[in-house]
Structure 1
Amino acid sequence: MWPTTTTLAVDLGSCTAGVWAAHRGTVTGPLGHPYASRGRVVDVDGCAAVLSRLVRQYEQPVRPGGVVVACRPVLASEDEQAAVRRVLGLAFAPRRVLFVDTVRAAAIGSGSAAGTLLIVDVGAGLTEVALLRNGHVVAARRTEIGTGDLSRGATVDQLGDIVVRHVDDLRSGPEMPDVLTAMARGLLLVGDGAVQPGLVPAVSGALGARVHRAAAPRTAALSGAGMAATSLSRHPAGV
């Protein structure tokens, strides 16, 4: 028997949206313009309509009143999160919404959350670098540029320079020992940038550190959010 409500995970990017549903799997599709930009919701109704269309692909209906785990950009503001809550409210009428940083979700989805990790998420509209300790963000930087800017004159080398600058900034701060430990392990690269030729060698060469691509870089965050949602359904006290 299918449950009356469904536990969901949502990754609302600048160009694509993805939904994971318990017992149903994952659906993804283009988000469209100008529904979201640089990690911020621009059109609440438009984003909600996209998510509603996506879940209609499931054979079994997604009923209202469930729990949603939503990815958010690192360092997201309260206003940015409130806009996502409105989107999810319109699309799913959830009983509860929990947020997980996209970088944390991607680490979980990549099987790399344990220990000390430097993760780089180069998406369509944002480039994020975060230091994680046992799956929790302890320091992070972000810049509003991504692979979507490659069609507007940006270059892969510029994206690499941004990543290197953020890593250097973290390395010069109070978290330096953990950053050095993470660099010895190697950086994890996720997001659309992970499939861009030239980015891995550019970052690796500039930092003198290994850079590993996630096995499924574009969907790692959604997979991790789904895993967090599954854990939440089993242990309602938290994710």
Structure 2
Amino acid sequence: MRSLHRGPRLGPSAHRDHRGATRGLALDLGSSRTRVWVPGHGVLPDPDVHGAPGADGPSGTGAGHGRPVRRGRIVDPDSCGRMLGRIADTALGADRTGTVIVLSHPVLTGPRHRAAARELLAALGPSTVIALDSARAAAASAGPRDGGPLLVVDIGAGLTEATLLVDDRVRDARQAETGLGDLDPAGPPTAVVHAVLEMVLDMWQQDRHGAVLGALRKGPLLTGGGAARPDITDRIAARLGTPVRLADDPATAVVRGAGMVLSSVLRQAATVALPTGRAG
């Protein structure tokens, strides 16, 4: 289990003057599939599962064998680059001038994965690449909140993460390399539920300010494919002794949150581009 304390805010590129940016897309590189969000279209239908060797089916619960991304890491850069190229060609066209790509990634993804992802995306020719961790993306998709502590539990195909957000900053996070793809379809989801409980308990024991307890009282926000399974969510709520909140369409919550950041960037760019006066 990996852990993190006091993560950074959203990268400075998200607050720059993106003058000239008019188009873009948001990406969530997952172990079972890549989610894509495009302004005006929303979430695109599974752009990389059709015809991809070893790709998972519609359930999205496979282990992702043969996929270029596994357990939150790019394991086949060449294949990943080709996949991203197809996505960019479809969503942005050949001319990438004035485009922005927002990439969501697991909170505890290492620097090697982040660097590889940025390199692959830069090769596509966008004007800007913005990185956003999945916990804050999921929180954004859930709508406005009071800024107090929020516990986000993301249950994916190959990873499960628990992240404590305070004032939109990552205060603490845990990651387990256990996901839906590791479960026996005929048995109970014990491994995933145990991973969530272990991570939350560990964060609680390390918390000196009561933020975890405050977040638990409000109810953790569950996202990822696992949040669509009552056999998982009911067990987590019972074991934690608190109600849980489910993200709307949890399998796409992260990419939709990344899309909201993209929309904000494009609106900001449009506002900056407006003339300050009228012609006489």
TM-score, normalization by structure 1:
0.87
Matched with 2:27 is 10
Cα deviation, residue 73, structure 1? 0.7
Contact 1:36–1:42 at 8 Å: present in 2 too?
Answer: yes
Comparing both chains, which one has the higher relative contact order based on Cα–Cα distances under 8 Å and sequence gaps of 6 or more?
2
Contact 2:26–2:102 at 8 Å: present in 1 too?
Answer: yes
Contact 1:184–1:209 at 8 Å: present in 2 too?
Answer: yes
Q: Aligned ranges for residues 130-169 of structure 1 at < 5 Å? A: 130-151=163-184, 155-169=188-202
Cα deviation, residue 187, structure 1? 0.9
Identity, % of aligned positions: 36
Distance 1:38 1:155, change over 3 A: farther
Matched with 1:79 is 112
Cα deviation, residue 42, structure 1? 1.1
Q: Aligned ranges for residues 109-124 of structure 1 at < 5 Å? A: 109-111=141-143, 114-124=147-157
Cα deviation, residue 85, structure 1? 1.2
Distance 1:187 1:136, change over 3 A: same
Identify which of 220, 242, 253 aligns with 1:187. 220
Contact 1:5–1:63 at 8 Å: present in 2 too?
Answer: no
Cα deviation, residue 221, structure 1? 0.4
Contact 1:108–1:135 at 8 Å: present in 2 too?
Answer: no
Contact 2:21–2:266 at 8 Å: present in 1 too?
Answer: no
Contact 2:132–2:258 at 8 Å: present in 1 too?
Answer: yes
Identify which of 198, 201, 205 aligns with 1:172. 205
Unaligned segments of structure 2, at least 5 residues: 1-19, 50-54, 56-65, 270-280
The aligned length equals 232
Q: Could you tell which deviates more after superposition, 181-190 or 134-143?
A: 134-143
Q: Aligned ranges for residues 8-157 of structure 1 at < 5 Å? A: 8-29=25-46, 30-31=48-49, 32=55, 33-58=66-91, 61=93, 63-65=95-97, 66-90=99-123, 92-111=124-143, 114-151=147-184, 155-157=188-190
TM-score, normalization by structure 2:
0.75
CA distance in 1, matches of 2:21, 2:107: 33
Distance 1:88 1:151, change over 3 A: farther
The secondary structure found in structure 2 opposite 1:164 is: helix
Unaligned segments of structure 1, at least 5 residues: none
Q: Of Structure 1 and Structure 2, which has the larger fraction of its residues in strand? A: 1
Contact 1:27–1:55 at 8 Å: present in 2 too?
Answer: no
CA distance in 2, matches of 1:126, 1:62: 34
Distance 1:112 1:55, change over 3 A: same
Contact 1:69–1:225 at 8 Å: present in 2 too?
Answer: yes
Cα deviation, residue 52, structure 1? 3.1
Distance 1:141 1:53, change over 3 A: same
Identify which of 253, 256, 267 aligns with 1:220. 253
> After superposition, what is the alpha-carbon deviation per residue over 1:61-101, rounded to whole angstroms, capped at 9, x for unaligned?
363242211001112211110111122133x3122211111
The secondary structure found in structure 1 opposite 2:251 is: coil
Could you say which structure has the larger radius of gyration?
A: 2
CA-based RMSD: 2.3
Distance 1:112 1:129, change over 3 A: farther
